[in-house]
């Protein structure tokens, strides 16, 4: 009898242990009640997700949730809405986004007169001598052109008339040109007599635009902007913190959980680290060190990449600015501009430097991300990448990138897939730029080499999407719309520009999630909804994958979840 009770006790203990083993620790968060796109090919849509801490622990049918439900588990009912992995801004400027909200936002001005009026209002609120700063104007998007233009740009006289005692500097939407008033040029010592000397001092990569009499028009192209910018008072620690807070709030409102920050300074890094230490960094940052600071680059080469185990701030990439933009005719072309036949744009960085930094990147484990918009800039950078890669064949997973890759020679398109170079392209640029870009490049170059998304994907290249904020608003829905329709935000033209280059909806969503994560070596921790990955999610009011094209732009971000916590909810 004693043996019987001993045997029974062993059996009961074994059953108890099995039952305990079958139970799972309850999840902190369960999400269900809508369509959930995972970006996992084996399981593309699921009914529910469970999260413990900042990590996904379950993704599947609602029937499988029972082991994860507990008394303290928070449940979010999607109520028919759609959830995707957290969207990743694949190329933007975080502090630029913040300062765009602090300074004059000129992105939506429709004419030079409207720009002047905005400056006039700012001057009325400013102290004499206080700088008026802004960004976002684009002369090719204005519905009404000024009476006087030089090389397609306005001249400063109207601006100067409303701001005689306040220096004004307004950056072009692209960031590759700036517009100054007379007061700013006076402070910088720019006048008719000095232009020639200053132009020589600039060397390659800059232009002070002048009228037919040799007078400066107020337009400073590329490196020439520094002639004015060096006289602008530096930002304070207080305004930097305010700008970062505004930028992160804007990210979360727009469903952005991660941000590829294209060109960060030493000061930016220190600020981001302070926010992280204080627990205030609520956007995941993948930082590209600015190539403008060679001392900064070589400091980091000596100490190596910094991959954050907390997945908030990783520094393992370098941003090189190699040419300008189409809007300011600074993009470096193989043939002259169709609307300025005496000019082919410019390199803003020596190609010898690109090769040198590309070699250093392979040696020290840094990803190189080179800005190139014109076809010549893209070709020259691919040439340098290829040389560096051929010298170090043992580095198989370099993931070197070209930022924008906007206009390519047809011969260079296959090289992206062949070399494993990532084109980080912002689809929204097509919506904004394509209507006037044809004037810059002509129909043949546009058709054969501009915004070549589908052609690049067919080579095996991985496209990273984004907005280049503050060049464009950070809204990913607009960029998704552009990706799949190739239309302006007004829905023009019917069928889209060069429709054979449209992305499919799956390709577009992947370019903002899993492929964007790949572009930062982070596809194993983010970019799809899968157990073990970070619980970063974006919830939309409408199903971006099924609604008719015209409805996409009416979709809204209703909630953003970062690391299993609701970071934004639309009221």
For the chain, the average pLDDT equals 93
Higher pLDDT, 213 or 180: 180
Query: Within 10 A of 277 (CB to CB), how many other CB atoms are there?
Result: 9
Within 13 A of 489's CA, how many CA atoms are on the CB side? 16
Which of 230, 209, 237, 211 is closest to 95 using CA atoms? 237
Q: Compute the distance between CA of residue 153 and CA of residue 338 in angstroms, rounded to an integer.
A: 16
Q: Which residue has the tokens 């899993």?
A: 514
Q: Compute the distance between CA of residue 526 and CA of residue 505 in angstroms, rounded to an integer.
A: 20
Query: Within 10 A of 415 (CB to CB), how many other CB atoms are there?
Result: 20
pLDDT at 65: 97
Q: Are 477 and 544 in contact (CB under 8 A)?
A: yes
pLDDT at 9 over 90: no
pLDDT, tens digit (0-9, with 9 covering 90-100), for 276-316: 999 999 999 999 999 999 999 999 999 999 999 999 999 99
Q: Compute the distance between CA of residue 451 and CA of residue 433 in angstroms, rounded to an integer.
A: 10
Contacts of 411 (CB under 8 A, 6+ apart): none
Q: 260: helix, coil or strand?
A: strand
Q: Is the peptide bond before 470 cis (omega within 30 degrees of 0)?
A: yes
SS3 assignment for 444-458: HHHHHHECCHHHHHH
Higher pLDDT, 201 or 191: 191
Tokens representing 498 are: 């060069």
Q: Compute the distance between CA of residue 194 and CA of residue 186 in angstroms, rounded to an integer.
A: 11
Q: Are 151 and 209 in contact (CB under 8 A)?
A: yes
pLDDT at 528 over 50: yes
pLDDT at 321 over 90: yes
Topology classification of domain 21-83: Urease, subunit C; domain 1 (2.30.40)
pLDDT at 13: 43
Helical H segments across 235-394, by residue range: 237-253, 266-277, 294-303, 351-364, 375-391
Write the burial class of residue 285 (CB in 10 Å: 0-12 exposed, 13-18 middle, 19+ buried).
Answer: buried
pLDDT, tens digit (0-9, with 9 covering 90-100), for 463-487: 999 999 999 999 999 999 999 999 9
Under the banding of pLDDT at 50, 70 and 90, the label for residue 196 is low
Query: Within 10 A of 131 (CB to CB), how many other CB atoms are there?
Result: 17
End-to-end CA distance of the chain: 69
Q: 321: helix, coil or strand?
A: strand
Under the banding of pLDDT at 50, 70 and 90, the label for residue 194 is confident
pLDDT at 12: 43
Within 13 A of 408's CA, how many CA atoms are on the CB side? 21
pLDDT, tens digit (0-9, with 9 covering 90-100), for 431-457: 999 999 999 999 999 999 999 999 999
**Percent of the chain beyond pLDDT 90?**
85
pLDDT at 524 over 80: yes
Q: Compute the distance between CA of residue 404 and CA of residue 451 in angstroms, rounded to an integer.
A: 9
Contacts of 551 (CB under 8 A, 6+ apart): 542
Residues of CATH 3.10.310.70 domain(s) within the chain? Answer: 103-229
Average pLDDT over residues 505-529: 98
Residues of CATH 2.30.40.10 domain(s) within the chain? Answer: 21-83
Under the banding of pLDDT at 50, 70 and 90, the label for residue 18 is very low
Under the banding of pLDDT at 50, 70 and 90, the label for residue 61 is very high
- Angstrom distances, CA of residue 317 to CA of 165, 197, 248, 520: 42, 37, 21, 8
Which of 411, 410, 343, 350 is closest to 381 using CA atoms? 350
Angle of the 94-102 helix axis to the 237-253 helix axis, nearest 10: 100
What sign has the CA pseudo-torsion 179, 185, 190, 193?
positive
Q: Which residue has the tokens 């190699």?
A: 322
Q: Compute the distance between CA of residue 386 and CA of residue 380 in angstroms, rounded to an integer.
A: 10
Q: Which residue has the tokens 């009221």?
A: 571
**Percent of the chain beyond pLDDT 70?**
94
Q: Compute the distance between CA of residue 385 and CA of residue 389 in angstroms, rounded to an integer.
A: 6
Q: Which residue has the tokens 């608003």?
A: 473
Q: Compute the distance between CA of residue 34 and CA of residue 47 in angstroms, rounded to an integer.
A: 7
- Angstrom distances, CA of residue 176 to CA of 229, 379, 423: 13, 20, 20
pLDDT at 17: 40
Q: Which residue has the tokens 């007379």?
A: 182
- Angstrom distances, CA of residue 458 to CA of 39, 379, 548: 19, 19, 25
Phi, psi of 512 (to 5 degrees): -100, -5
Query: Within 10 A of 110 (CB to CB), how many other CB atoms are there?
Result: 11
Contacts of 559 (CB under 8 A, 6+ apart): 76, 537, 538, 539, 566, 568, 569, 570
Instruction: Note the maximum CA span of the chain.
Output: 116
Q: Which helix (H) or strand (E) holds 4?
A: helix 2-22
Topology classification of domain 103-229: Diaminopimelate Epimerase; Chain A, domain 1 (3.10.310)
Q: Are 264 and 318 in contact (CB under 8 A)?
A: no
Q: In the β-sheet with 313-321, what is the strand arrangement from edge to edge?
A: 87-92, 256-264, 284-290, 313-321, 367-372, 401-404, 422-424
Query: Within 10 A of 532 (CB to CB), how many other CB atoms are there?
Result: 10
DSSP 279-297: T---SEEEEEEETT-HHHH
């Amino acid at each position: 009898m004693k043996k019987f009770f001993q045997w029974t006790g062993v059996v009961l203990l074994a059953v108890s242990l099995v039952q305990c083993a079958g139970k799972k620790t309850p999840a902190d968060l369960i999400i269900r009640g809508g369509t959930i796109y995972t970006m996992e090919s084996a399981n593309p849509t699921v009914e529910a997700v469970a999260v413990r801490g900042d990590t996904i622990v379950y993704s599947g049918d609602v029937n499988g949730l029972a082991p994860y439900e507990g008394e303290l588990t928070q449940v979010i009912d999607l109520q028919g809405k759609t959830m995707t992995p957290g969207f990743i801004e694949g190329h933007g400027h975080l502090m630029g986004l913040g300062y765009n909200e602090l300074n004059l936002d000129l992105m939506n001005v429709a004419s030079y007169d409207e720009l002047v009026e905005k400056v006039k209002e700012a001057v009325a609120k400013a102290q004499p001598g206080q700088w008026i700063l802004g960004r976002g104007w684009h002369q090719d998007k204005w519905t009404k052109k000024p009476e006087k233009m030089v090389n397609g740009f306005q001249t400063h006289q109207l601006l100067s008339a409303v701001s005689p005692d306040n220096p004004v500097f307004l950056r072009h939407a692209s960031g590759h040109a700036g517009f100054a008033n007379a007061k700013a040029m006076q402070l910088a010592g720019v006048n008719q007599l000095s232009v020639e000397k200053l132009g020589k001092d600039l060397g390659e990569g800059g232009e002070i635009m002048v009228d037919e009499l040799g007078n400066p028009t107020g337009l400073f192209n590329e490196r020439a902007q520094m002639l004015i910018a060096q006289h602008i008072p530096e930002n304070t620690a207080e305004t930097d913190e305010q700008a970062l807070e505004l930028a992160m709030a804007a990210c979360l409102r727009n469903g952005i959980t991660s941000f590829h920050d294209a060109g960060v300074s030493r000061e930016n890094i220190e600020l981001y680290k302070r926010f992280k230490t204080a627990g205030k960094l609520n956007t995941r940052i993948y930082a590209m060190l600015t190539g403008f600071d060679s001392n900064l680059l070589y400091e980091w080469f000596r100490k190596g990449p910094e991959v954050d185990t907390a997945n908030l701030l990783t520094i393992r990439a370098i941003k090189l600015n190699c040419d300008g933009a189409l809007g300011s005719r600074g993009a470096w072309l193989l043939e002259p501009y169709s609307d300025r036949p005496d000019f082919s744009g410019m390199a803003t960085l020596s190609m010898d430097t690109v090769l040198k930094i590309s070699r250093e990147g392979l040696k020290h484990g840094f990803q190189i991300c080179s800005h190139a918009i014109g076809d010549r800039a893209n070709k020259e950078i691919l040439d340098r990448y290829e040389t560096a890669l051929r010298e170090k064949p043992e580095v198989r997973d370099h993931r070197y990138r070209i930022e924008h890759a906007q206009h390519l020679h047809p011969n260079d398109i296959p090289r992206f897939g062949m070399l494993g170079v990532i084109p980080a392209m912002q689809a929204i640029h097509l919506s904004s730029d394509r209507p006037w870009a044809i004037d810059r490049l002509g129909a043949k170059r546009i058709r054969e080499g501009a915004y070549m998304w589908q052609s690049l994907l067919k080579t095996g290249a991985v496209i990273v999407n984004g907005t280049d904020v503050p060049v464009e608003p950070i809204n990913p829905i607009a960029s998704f719309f552009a990706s799949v329709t190739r239309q302006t935000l007004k829905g023009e033209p019917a069928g889209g520009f060069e429709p054979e280059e449209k992305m499919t909806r799956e390709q577009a969503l992947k370019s903002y999630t899993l492929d964007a994560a790949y572009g930062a070596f982070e596809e194993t921790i983010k970019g799809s909804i899968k157990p073990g990955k970070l619980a970063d999610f974006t919830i939309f009011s409408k199903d971006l994958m099924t609604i008719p094209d015209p409805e996409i732009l009416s979709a809204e971000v209703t909630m953003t979840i970062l690391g299993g916590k609701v970071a934004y909810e639309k009221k």
